[in-house]
Amino acid sequence: MKVKIINHSSNTLPSYETIGSAGMDLRANLTATIELKPMERALVPTGLFMELTCGFEAQIRPRSGMAVKKGLTILNTPGTIDSDYRGEIKVIVINLSNETQIIEHGERVAQMVISKFEQINWEAVDELQETSRGAGGFGSTGVK
């Protein structure tokens, strides 16, 4: 599938690093470094704009390397970019570490996964089909 993309950054386009990769790394498009103190968050621009086909979304997810090495992760994760959005892709980064962290231009700040989805139509009913689980929620299927 081909997706139209505009790149207003000096970074290369996102790409799959290995044949088995589900996500493509997104890089920061910055004119100055971002300094994040503990528990601070920032909206990091990528310089990317895209046109997804209807029925697809882009999910913005954290990178495990940034989480373990710097304590940085992504808020509102996974973030969803709808197929009719045409604005710049930006990433909400938060510093969960106890130290100030720096984000530099070109740094890989998140990963993007393209996923197919379906829209549904609701059918209002008075009863739902019974299952063995029933209304059991949080932790109800776990071993005690």
- CATH code of residue 72: 2.70.40.10
Q: Give the pLDDT score at 113.
A: 98
Distance CA 43, CA 14 (A): 19
Task: Tell me if 70 is assigned to some domain.
Answer: yes
Per-residue confidence band for 131, with pLDDT thresholds at 50, 70 and 90: confident
For the stretch 86-89, contacts whose Cβ atoms lie closer than 8 Å and that sit 24 or more positions apart, written own/partner, are 86/49, 86/51, 87/49, 88/8, 88/45, 88/46, 88/47, 88/48, 88/49, 89/26, 89/46, 89/48, 89/49, 89/50, 89/58, 89/60
User: Residue 136: is its pLDDT beyond 90?
Assistant: no
The Cα 137–Cα 123 span in angstroms is: 23
Residue 133: what pLDDT? Answer: 79
Cis omega (within 30 of 0) on the bond before 45? Answer: no
> For residue 140, what pLDDT is reported?
67
Split into its structural domains, the chain has a count of: 1
What is the residue-averaged pLDDT of the chain? 94
Rg (CA), the chain: 19
Please report whether residue 9 resides in a domain: yes
pLDDT digits (tens, 9 = 90+) for 25-45: 999 999 999 999 999 999 999
H-run or E-run covering 65: helix 64-70
- Classify residue 41: in a domain, yes or no: yes
Residue 95 per-residue DSSP state: E
For the whole model, what pTM was predicted?
Answer: 0.87
Confidence at residue 142, expressed as pLDDT on a 0 to 100 scale: 66
Whether 133 is in a domain gets the answer no
**pLDDT at res. 135:** 78
**pLDDT at residue 137 is higher than 80:** no
Domain range holding 25?
Answer: 4-116
Render pLDDT for 65-112 as a digit per residue (tens, 0 to 9). 999 999 999 999 999 999 999 999 999 999 999 999 999 999 999 999
